[in-house]
Structure 1
Amino acid sequence: MSRRLASVAALLLVAALAAGCSSAAATTDPDGSVTLRYQGNAGQVTLPELADDLGYFEDVTLEWVGDTTSGPQDIQSAATGQTDFGGAFNGAIAKLVAAGSPITSVIGYYGSDDVAFNGYYVLEDSPVRSARDLVGKKVGMNTLGAHHEFVVREWLASEGLTSDEIASVQLVVVPPVSTEQALREGQIDVGTLGSVFRDSALERGGLRELFTDTSLYGEFTYGSYVFRDDVIAKNPQAVADFVQGVARAIRWTQTNPREVVIDRFETIIDGRGREENTDLVQYWKSAGVAGPGGVIDPKEISIWVDWLVREGTLEEGQIDPEDLYTNADNPYANGTYDPASGPDGEATS
């Protein structure tokens, strides 16, 4: 195991051990609904927040406890009982489960498609034109042990680099808001850019695309929302309500024009009183979720478990991908709605 991945695994193990001492903290309200604590994203609207605003929850009340800094941090908070659910890259979820944390993925919530994707960019005149050119170079990304690290390493491997050559590529943590500047100033050789940061950087010119996450797998769901297993056991009805509500919210974004979605996001942000602005949501294009309503495709989990085995982070057979997720409560998977239908089961054009 590389030193970087070993460090991440150690952190996840601490979270897992703490999780073993936690109890299900989701609380039942006088009206019978269950309050679920969660972390949000500043200046953005999460899918559970959208589901709540659309009135899709019947048994769930959301309680915002702050904003998350990354996917791994978000699921660690859920695993240790600081929140009741969290979302992250599926590879990070697999590592946390392997470290002993009792969590289960219940619905996919983000991914990449032709309009919502992450690109890996170099300066226009950069000598970096292939994977091999990255040997010994620096790649900037928002956090380690998550989506971007896995994708970069998978791309390098798919391009034929050896383990030693891949290990020589330096992965550097750079906040998304600073990535473009770090790239233009030569502090890094490749910058990871997505959403508003990609669009605004490309508008300024002078950058060249090296590869994208969609160039690996096409349209693909990369991350899931997870619950601790004790929360699921204690509040199965509330978890089922959460999943169906978020699934319908995803389907709502998948079947409505972009302008309608952005308008709804603006209304939500303006009404929740967190001293934010709506600049970021203007660049929203898609959640990038591949399946209807966030139904989890088994390959979206197994591909990263297999990757961790190849990297030596997991042993063959250490965890079964089928044990990491469930689609049981998703109405687009359990027969409640036709997968091609809209957020209320209606036919779509």
Structure 2
Amino acid sequence: MATTASTRRQFLTLLGLSTVAVSCGTATGATSGRSQTKTLRYQGWAGQVTLPELAEDLGHLGDVKLEWVGNTISGPQDIQSAATGQVDFGGAFNGAVVKLAANGAPVKAVISYYGSDKYAYNGFYVLQDSPIRSAGDLIGKKIGMNTLGAHSEAMLDIYLRRGGLSRAEIGKTEPLVVPPVNTEQTLRKKQIDVAVLGGILRDKALAAGGIRPLFTDHQLLGAFSAGTYVMTDRFLKQSPDTARVFVTGVGKAIEWARSTPHDEVVARMTDIVGKRGRNEDTAPLKYWRSFGVAETAGRITDEEFQLWIDWLAERGDIKKGQVTSADLYTNRFNDAGGAGAAASPAASSSPTSGS
């Protein structure tokens, strides 16, 4: 049996973290005795509008300002940056949040920001003439996704296990990291056998034709919130009012996007991308349809974490009973309200970033 310390180091390595980094997490964050920060550092996603960016543009963050420090394509990397104080919040697939917290990172999930519904989902796509039709056909095949150890790899694992593959057979599949903006073209050039596509990049690829879905996460698990933004315990303690403004503002942005006509949401996002001047293509934004968040204003439920606690324990990635859902999140900073948020309107899917 591995020691607790060595096991912890192994799990942190899966997330790209070091024990030192986590124990020192937030050393560069708010300092005791200072007034609450009004500036939140964050990472964005190229060509996409995140919920905090939308919330700020809608005026829901008040005097709290966002400071963009760069882009990411990885949820685990984003929450690593939050845990170590390089940014003030980060978002990832809930399974990655579970792994991070299980290994001692001082973080707490504060609001859901993406999920799966009939509009917002990740699909595993193959070329139209591909011989791949079932889980067994993926043995030895290359599957391109935005990052490893997160949402897409979890969905792949569930699909393969439901397809009857053994652990040894699953180990013969080849998940590969491919930047989301390059995934469609990499598939069409046959450099990978399967491409994981979501949100506006998925719908843009489908509009071009020539590909078909092998399966989607919505087909696997139905509608569910899949990822959350996290903040460190230290940040929440030292800047609780700022955290409340941020979480509540993001919750209001979720409901605004849910209830606003599609064309108006797209126009707003297009304007945001244009104003920030990062030399990004705004054309794919027309394919946006929903953020896929299941609960009103992004409130978090036990079930959204318990699913991944059980899955990770079954895989042996964490010990049974090592964490509980209640330890991982809080809704106390979310003052956003509004009824009827469970269903996305037909007009209204997000870039399922983070995963």
TM-score (norm 2): 0.87
| 1:315 matches 2:340 | no
Q: 2:94 aligns with which of 63, 68, 90?
A: 90
Alpha-carbon separation, structure 2, partners of 1:297 and 1:78:
22
Aligned equivalent of 2:288: 284
Alpha-carbon separation, structure 2, partners of 1:13 and 1:209:
31
Q: 2:59 aligns with which of 40, 55, 61?
A: 55
**Residue 63 of structure 1: CA displacement?**
1.6
Q: 2:21 aligns with which of 9, 18, 31?
A: 18
SS at match of 1:14: coil
1:76-114 deviation digits (Å, cap 9, x = unpaired): 111111111011111111111122211000000011211
- Preserved contact between residue 124 and residue 215 of structure 2 (Cα < 8 Å): yes
- Preserved contact between residue 118 and residue 212 of structure 1 (Cα < 8 Å): yes
**Residue 7 of structure 1: CA displacement?**
6.8
Distance 1:54 1:27, change over 3 A: farther
**Matched length:** 333
SS at match of 2:195: strand
Alpha-carbon separation, structure 2, partners of 1:193 and 1:247:
25
Alpha-carbon separation, structure 2, partners of 1:278 and 1:31:
38
| 1:339 matches 2:339 | yes
Q: 1:214 aligns with which of 218, 225, 229?
A: 218
1:193-240 deviation digits (Å, cap 9, x = unpaired): 223332232233222211001001111111000001100011111111
Q: 1:254 aligns with which of 238, 258, 262?
A: 258
Distance 1:273 1:11, change over 3 A: same
| 1:134 matches 2:132 | no
Alpha-carbon separation, structure 1, partners of 2:319 and 2:36:
44
Distance 1:26 1:285, change over 3 A: farther
**Residue 246 of structure 1: CA displacement?**
0.6
Alpha-carbon separation, structure 2, partners of 1:285 and 1:135:
33
**Residue 277 of structure 1: CA displacement?**
3.7
SS at match of 2:192: coil
SS at match of 2:73: coil
Alpha-carbon separation, structure 2, partners of 1:31 and 1:55:
22
1:141-176 deviation digits (Å, cap 9, x = unpaired): 111111100111011112222212211211112222
Distance 1:76 1:15, change over 3 A: farther
Alpha-carbon separation, structure 1, partners of 2:217 and 2:341:
28
Alpha-carbon separation, structure 2, partners of 1:184 and 1:69:
21
Aligned equivalent of 2:181: 177
Structure 1 segment 135-174 matched on structure 2, within 5 A: 135-174=139-178
Alpha-carbon separation, structure 2, partners of 1:13 and 1:171:
17
Aligned equivalent of 2:228: 224
Distance 1:77 1:136, change over 3 A: same
Q: Return 5+ residue gaps in structure 2 as ranges.
A: 1-8, 343-355
Alpha-carbon separation, structure 2, partners of 1:59 and 1:27:
20
- Preserved contact between residue 8 and residue 145 of structure 1 (Cα < 8 Å): no
CA-atom RMSD in angstroms: 2.5
Structure 1 segment 235-246 matched on structure 2, within 5 A: 235-246=239-250
Aligned equivalent of 1:275: 279
The percentage of aligned residue pairs carrying the same residue is 52
SS at match of 2:124: strand
- Preserved contact between residue 183 and residue 189 of structure 1 (Cα < 8 Å): yes
Alpha-carbon separation, structure 1, partners of 2:212 and 2:36:
54
- Preserved contact between residue 26 and residue 34 of structure 1 (Cα < 8 Å): no
Alpha-carbon separation, structure 2, partners of 1:286 and 1:71:
19
- Preserved contact between residue 201 and residue 284 of structure 2 (Cα < 8 Å): no
Aligned equivalent of 2:347: none
Aligned equivalent of 1:347: none
1:37-92 deviation digits (Å, cap 9, x = unpaired): 11112222211111111111235222222222311111111111111101111111
- Preserved contact between residue 12 and residue 18 of structure 2 (Cα < 8 Å): no
One-letter amino acid of the structure 2 residue matched with residue 171 of structure 1: P
**Residue 31 of structure 1: CA displacement?**
9.7
- Preserved contact between residue 145 and residue 180 of structure 2 (Cα < 8 Å): yes
- Preserved contact between residue 19 and residue 81 of structure 1 (Cα < 8 Å): no
Mean Cα deviation higher: 244-253 or 197-206:
197-206
- Preserved contact between residue 108 and residue 296 of structure 1 (Cα < 8 Å): yes
| 1:42 matches 2:46 | yes
One-letter amino acid of the structure 1 residue matched with residue 110 of structure 2: V
**Residue 132 of structure 1: CA displacement?**
1.6
**Residue 8 of structure 1: CA displacement?**
6.6
SS at match of 2:249: helix
Alpha-carbon separation, structure 1, partners of 2:148 and 2:329:
23
Aligned equivalent of 1:263: 267
One-letter amino acid of the structure 2 residue matched with residue 272 of structure 1: R
Distance 1:162 1:71, change over 3 A: same
SS at match of 1:301: helix
Aligned equivalent of 1:79: 83
**Residue 192 of structure 1: CA displacement?**
1.0
